[in-house]
Amino acid sequence: MDGNSPNIFLLISIAIVAVVAVIYLVFSSKTGPKLSMAKYQTKWLEIENSLNRENPSSYHMAIFNADKLVDQALRERRFKGQTMGERMKSANSVWSNANHIWGAHKIRNQLAHEPDAQVSREIALRSLSAFKQGLKDLGAI
């Protein structure tokens, strides 16, 4: 063994460590921080249990709360954007069915901004299904 062998070994080792570190940073920044599934599952069950067939206003509240929960998950996963819509766009590659989650968010916006807006139980259930899938896509439940 000559005097240069330890130096070459050291350089190769440093290069390997650097490549592994870069790969780790690239993949960890795309997935974002992990979410507390237990916390989100508990909150989700509260939302599902809040639906009351005899009380149509409970549909509105369930949709509002589900939308807020998805936004909370987007924030915790550190998706960029000033509004939920911007954060949803940032998370576009995460959604298994982007049209479904966007449709549910639009229903929430209708309820929030149109005083006479109403939703049927069926629409409420479809919206909640979309929000639930969104939470699954984000790794929250």
For 62-102, how does the pLDDT look when each residue is reduced to its tens digit (9 = 90+)?
999 999 999 999 999 999 999 999 999 999 999 999 999 99
> At residue 13, does pLDDT exceed 80?
no
> At residue 128, does pLDDT exceed 80?
yes
What is the pLDDT averaged over residues 16-32? 62
Structure tokens at 115: 């005083």
Overall pTM > 0.75: yes
Positive or negative: CA dihedral 60, 92, 95, 138: negative
- 92 burial type by CB count under 10 A (0-12 exposed, 13-18 middle, 19+ buried): exposed
**Block residue for tokens 């780790």:** 24
Ramachandran angles phi, psi of 30, nearest 5°: -75, -35
